[in-house]
Amino acid sequence: MLYLRFNLDNEEYALDTSHIVEITPLVELKSVPKSEDFIAGIMNYRGTPVPVIDLTRILLEREFTRNMSTRIIITKMSDGTTVGLIIEHIEGMIKKPDSDFVNTNITSNQTSYLGNIAIDSKIMIQVVQLEELVADKLSLLTSLQKSAGA
Amino acid sequence: MDNQIKRKSLEINDCWNHIGVWGKETPRCEKLDNVIHCRNCEIFSQSGQQILEQPLSEEYLSDWATIYSNEKKQRRAGSKSSLVFRLGDEWYSFPNDAIVEVTEIKAIHSIPHSKSQALRGLVNIRGELKICFSIGHLLGIHKGKKLIEQTSKYKSYERMVVISHEDQQFVFPVSEVLGSTRYNDDDITAPPATIANAKATFTTGMLKVKNNNVACLDLGLIFNSIKRSLK
């Protein structure tokens, strides 16, 4: 499996690339008043409004930094929803068999989207499960997309 | 796209452009003895990191927002390919699957008492004798004034092209081979209706390759007229 590897405050994470449509630089986002704090805003992605989730807010509980290296990952869920994710410090791609990722048995209801861990040259990389992450926030997102599309 | 994004000026000591591999100043950087190339040096990668860690300007955000709000331009893959070559001052092409090989110019052994002017003789290609004909003669074109050779910055080399069609192979010399090009069917435009000479009948369409108008030749018609000229 091919993963997108990124670094948030010196912790390594990986995203399964099969959901990724495109990686764009940081763009102007339309802010959504009174929305959850992990919603960074709405992006005009090729003519369609796409909600953008701030992954640093979810994982680190801080706002993303507006750097040259900050990127928006446009992803498409299996149900067809398009969602953008803001991440910092993309390090590249890694190819690892699924068997390299080990279940650590540490689960929390709040972080069900954090998946298995692999070790790549002594560095531990944790998978962020996109579908779970988005499903976690989905009820909010669908209503958001409807209001944005209207 | 790049010039639309105005970067905030950042003070970076670009030593690699002065005492490094991209500069000519002396004394040379001492680190080069160890790292050999600047791209292996930590100063170089740190500077790169610094650029990526730069805060963004509002302009950057709005510029990229404009770019991504537009429809994505689909790059078309190009489903067909052709070998583009030059005869005199004009460019022609044959479909790639008809091309057997392109070789350097070889001696042509003329055939005595041959009446056909298109037939040049026999050529030894990898130990096999193949019939060589002048495609320029078939198309009714001459070597021309060789304007392209005079104005081009590059030296061009004459080549011999081996083509095959329906299990028959022929060789023809060309002034220059540009290379293989990929295109889609809708890239081909109809040949100009005003072309009155023989060229038009052999041309299936025109293709634009690097600002050159390339005539796509009809393989079947060319082979038929070669065979007729051999009789």
Domain residue ranges of chain A, discontinuous segments joined by +: 2-149
Question: Token pair for residue B130?
Answer: 């193949």
Contact residues for B74 (Cβ-Cβ < 8 A; gap 6+): none
Which strand (E) or helix (H) includes residue A18?
A: none
pLDDT, tens digit, 9 for 90 and up, residues B7-21: 445 677 888 888 888
Residues of A whose CB is below 8 A from B52: 67-69
Specify whether domain B80-230 bears CATH 2.40.50.180.
yes
Is B68–A24 a contact, with Cβ atoms under 8 angstroms apart? yes
pLDDT tens figures, B82-115:
999 988 888 889 998 889 999 999 888 888 887 7
Residue-level pLDDT at B1: 41
Q: Give the ipTM of the model, two decimals please.
A: 0.73
Helices marked H in chain B — which ranges?
Answer: 32-35, 42-52, 58-69, 135-139, 147-151, 199-202, 219-230
Tell me if B64 and A69 make a contact (CB, 8 A cut-off). Answer: no
Residue B206: in which H helix or E strand, if any?
strand B203-209
**For residue A112, what are its two tokens?**
């069900």
**Closest CA of chain B from A148, distance in Å:** 15
| CB pair distance less than 8 Å for A46 and B72 | yes
User: Quick one: closest CA in A to B53, which residue?
Assistant: A67
Tokens 């990722």, residue located: A101
Which pLDDT value is given to residue B144?
A: 62
Closest chain A residue to B60, measured at CA: A27
**How many contacts does A have with B, using Cβ atoms within 8 A?**
49
Task: Check CB contact under 8 Å for B68 and A67.
Answer: no
- What is the pTM (predicted TM-score) of this model? 0.57
Question: Taking CB atoms and an 8 Å limit, are A43 and B54 in contact across chains?
Answer: no
Is the pLDDT at B6 greater than 50? The verdict is no
> CA–CA separation, B67 vs B230, rounded Å?
60
Q: How far apart are the C-alpha atoms of B179 and B159, rounded to whole Å?
A: 12
Q: B51 and A68 in contact by Cβ < 8 A?
A: yes
* Per-position pLDDT tens, chain A of length 150: 899 999 888 888 998 888 899 999 999 888 888 878 888 889 999 888 998 988 888 888 888 888 888 899 999 888 888 899 999 888 888 898 888 888 877 777 777 778 888 888 888 888 888 888 887 776 655 655 566 654
Minimal Cα–Cα distance from A75 to chain B, Å?
Answer: 15
Residues 6 or more apart in contact with residue B128 via CB below 8 angstroms: none
Nearest C-alpha in B relative to A48: B69
Give the confidence band of B199 by pLDDT, cuts at 50, 70, 90.
Answer: low
* Domain edges within chain B: 2-69, 80-230
Q: Locate the chain A residue with the closest alpha carbon to B50.
A: A68
Could you tell me how far CA A133 lies from the centroid of its own chain? 8
Residue A83's beta-bridge partner residues?
A75
CATH tag for A2-149 (out of 3.40.50.880, 2.40.50.180, 3.40.50.300, 2.60.40.1260) = 2.40.50.180
Between A6 and B144, the higher pLDDT residue: A6
pLDDT digits (tens, 9 = 90+) for B56-81: 888 888 888 888 888 877 777 778 88
